[in-house]
Amino acid sequence: MRTWRVGTFSMGGSLLFLGILLLLTQILHWETAFILVSWWPVLFIVLGIEILLYLFLSRSEKAFLKYDFLSIIFVGFIGMVGIGLTVVQTTGLLEHVTSSFNNEVATANLPAFNKETGTEIKRIVVDTGDHPLTIETSTDKEISIFGTYRTQYVDRKPLLEEVNDYLFTKIKGDTIFITFKDLPQRNEWTTTFHSLEATLVVPASASLEVESDNAITLKPRKIVSSWNIENSSNVSLDLTKAEDVTVRLRDIQHIEGDEIQWTYPETREGQQESNEVDLEEHRTSATYKIGSGEQSISITDAYSVHATVSP
């Protein structure tokens, strides 16, 4: 009488198949995680073959059926693990875990934006979102944006490949609208680390309106237009004595720049306000003029303004 141990052949065949797959992953550079997820259905195929083989042999000879419980438990455990990994894969978590091991934090150049304005564009409206921005002027009739961003690379693929990935622009009449987008997330499971630092160069003759939730650095040089900055957390203003501009601050919590003699409005008691008070509920206004002050830079609703004047 022949004794048939159900489970032994299944365990041996499964381990053999798994070993071959793992060897091929090393030779052909396959993704090991996905191989481990996809190979486990072979367990049921091998176990089914073993049962069919037993049924076939039992017809021709009297076979005594005996279960190899250790092998069956081992095969069942591997099967459950495989089912669990498959469920995890369908949720996208496995892909996230795999990509996390391939992440690399690096700094890359922003895709540069250049737009000829000619004489048609007279007004520039910018929304920086949550990104810091440096703004300078140029004598060219062109708007330029360039800079760097730091992010997590996956498989050495850049996060931003073209201007539309981080910037939206629209021209209406004599106005161009520029909006900085939130940088894209690679997956929905975690918040990807991002930071963007850009420089915007605008024609000195175009008026500028900026709204921002982050820090703004202004280097106006010799503007021949008006600038309006609103809702920025911190504004750094770099001026020169050769400029002809009036700086107007309104609803500012903290004003810095000891070398600048700000002019403060009079209070009800007839005294000028001082920028020494830096309370959360305290907001003040001030002005500063260079030359005849024909051009205007207005900064409104900022937490702090730091201004310097260089020769």
Residue 239 CB coordination number (10 Å)? 21
| 63 band by pLDDT with thresholds 50, 70 and 90 | low
Number of H helices and E strands in the chain, helices first, is: 5, 17
Judge if 36 and 145 occupy the same domain: no
| CA nearest neighbour of 124 among 210, 253, 199, 220 | 210
Judge if 89 and 117 occupy the same domain: no
Judge if 118 and 93 occupy the same domain: no
Judge if 56 and 168 occupy the same domain: no
* Residue-wise pLDDT tens digits, 26-57: 677 666 555 555 666 776 677 677 777 766 66
The 8-class DSSP code of residue 73 comes to H
Judge if 127 and 273 occupy the same domain: yes
Q: Is 274 helix (H, G, I), strand (E, B) or coil?
A: coil
Cα-atom radius of gyration of the chain, to the nearest Å? Answer: 34
Res 95: pLDDT? 57
Judge if 241 and 110 occupy the same domain: yes
Q: Which of 77, 101, 125 is the last residue of a domain?
A: 101
Judge if 204 and 155 occupy the same domain: yes
Q: Which residues contact 22 (CB under 8 A, 6 or more apart)?
A: 32, 35
Judge if 56 and 97 occupy the same domain: yes
* Residue-wise pLDDT tens digits, 186-218: 555 444 567 899 999 999 999 999 999 999 999
Range of the domain at 29: 2-101
Percent of the chain with pLDDT strictly greater than 70: 62
Separation of alpha carbons 44 and 31, rounded Å:
23
Tokens of 143: 């708007």
What is the identity of the amino acid at 50?
A: E
Res 259: pLDDT? 74
Judge if 269 and 304 occupy the same domain: yes
E strands, 181-294, are 194-203, 207-212, 216-219, 226-230, 234-240, 245-256, 284-290
| 302 band by pLDDT with thresholds 50, 70 and 90 | very high
What is the identity of the amino acid at 103?
A: N
Judge if 207 and 65 occupy the same domain: no
Judge if 245 and 299 occupy the same domain: yes
Three-state secondary structure of 119-188: CCCCEEEEEEECCCEEEEEECCCEEEEEEEEEEEEECCECCCCCHHHCEEEEEECCEEEEEECCCCCCCC
**pLDDT of 275 over the 50 cut:** no
What is the identity of the amino acid at 75?
A: V
Taking the CA atoms of 59, 63, 69 and 74 in sequence, report the sign of the dihedral they define. Answer: negative
Paired strand residues for 255: 305
Q: Is 218 helix (H, G, I), strand (E, B) or coil?
A: strand
Number of compact structural domains in the chain: 2
Q: In degrees rounded to 5, what are phi and psi of residue 233?
A: -70, -50
Taking the CA atoms of 214, 306, 133 and 222 in sequence, report the sign of the dihedral they define. Answer: positive
Res 167: pLDDT? 95
Q: Which residues contact 203 (CB under 8 A, 6 or more apart)?
A: 117, 121, 137, 138, 139, 140, 141, 142, 143
| CA nearest neighbour of 160 among 186, 179, 134, 178 | 186
Q: Which of 54, 76, 101 is the last residue of a domain?
A: 101
Q: Which of 42, 72, 101 is the last residue of a domain?
A: 101
